[in-house]
Amino acid sequence: MTAEVQKALESLDRLAQAEQDAPPSATQCRNGMICLVHALQREVNKTGLTSGSISSISQRVVQLMQQHLEDSEVQRWGAATLEELFRRTPGPGRADQDTAAWAMTFRDAISALVSGAQASPAAIDLQRRCFSALICLLTTDDEDDAFDGSILASHMLEHEVMSLVAGAMQLHALSPSLLECAVSLISSLVLEGGDVAADEAFRTGCLKATLSTLARTLDNSENDDQWQGSCLVADASLQQTCLRALWSVSESGELGVTEIAADTGLESVISILSQDGTAEVHKWCASVLQSMLAKGGSDGLLAESVMLLNGSEVLVASIARYVDHLDVIERCAAALATLAAYGPDAAVSVLEAGGLSAVEEAAGVYGLDGDLGHWYHALQEAIEHCTDSDVSPAREAETTEDSSRIGL
Q: CB–CB of 371/334 below 8 Å?
A: yes
Q: Coil, strand, or helix at residue 17?
A: coil
Q: Which of 17-26, 343-352, 384-393 bottoms out in mean pLDDT, i.e. has the lowest? A: 384-393
Check residue 173 and give its pLDDT.
Answer: 93
Per domain, the residue ranges of the chain are 1-87+101-162, 276-408
Q: How many residues does the chain have?
A: 408
Q: Rounded to the nearest 5 degrees, what angle is found at the Cα of 279, between the Cα atoms of 323 and 362?
A: 20
Q: What is the pTM of this model?
A: 0.88
The answer to whether 300 and 343 have CB atoms below 8 angstroms apart is yes
Query: Which pLDDT value is given to residue 88?
Result: 80
Q: Which residues contact 299 (CB under 8 A, 6 or more apart)?
A: none
Grouping H, G, I as helix, E, B as strand and the rest as coil, residue 184 is helix
The DSSP symbol for 44 reads: S
Residue 349 pLDDT more than 50?
yes
Tell me the residue type at 307: M
Return d(Cα 189, Cα 195) in angstroms, integer: 10
Report whether 49 contacts 96 (CB < 8 A): no
pLDDT at position 294 over 90: yes
User: Cα separation of 378 and 324, whole Å?
Assistant: 22
Q: Whose CA is closest to 346, among 306, 402, 296? A: 306
Q: What is the pLDDT of residue 44?
A: 65
Q: Which of 282, 365, 285, 357 is nearest to 321 (CA)?
A: 282
Per-residue DSSP letter, 391: S
pLDDT above 70 covers a percentage of the chain that reads 85
Give the pLDDT band (50/70/90) at residue 186. very high
- Cβ neighbours of residue 281 closer than 8 Å, sequence gap 6 or more: 236, 239, 240, 243, 272
Per-residue confidence (pLDDT) for residue 94, from 0 to 100 = 45
Concatenate the DSSP letters of all residues of 91-102 into one string. Answer: PTT-TT--HHHH
Q: What is the pLDDT of residue 18?
A: 78
Residue 341, pLDDT > 60, answer yes
Amino acid residing at 127: Q
As a whole number of angstroms, the distance between CA 275 and CA 374 comes to 27
Q: What is the pLDDT of residues 215-269, one digit of tens each?
A: 999 976 444 445 444 788 889 999 999 999 999 999 998 889 999 998 889 999 9
351 against 99, higher pLDDT: 351
pLDDT at 390 over 60: no
- Residues 281-309 as b/e (b if ≥16 CB within 10 A, e otherwise) read bbbbbbbbbbbbbbbbeeeeebbebbbeb
Task: Give the confidence band of 402 by pLDDT, cuts at 50, 70, 90.
Answer: very low
What percentage of the chain has pLDDT greater than the value 90?
65
Of 250, 313, 325, which Cα lies nearest the Cα of 282?
325
Averaged pLDDT, 100-120: 90
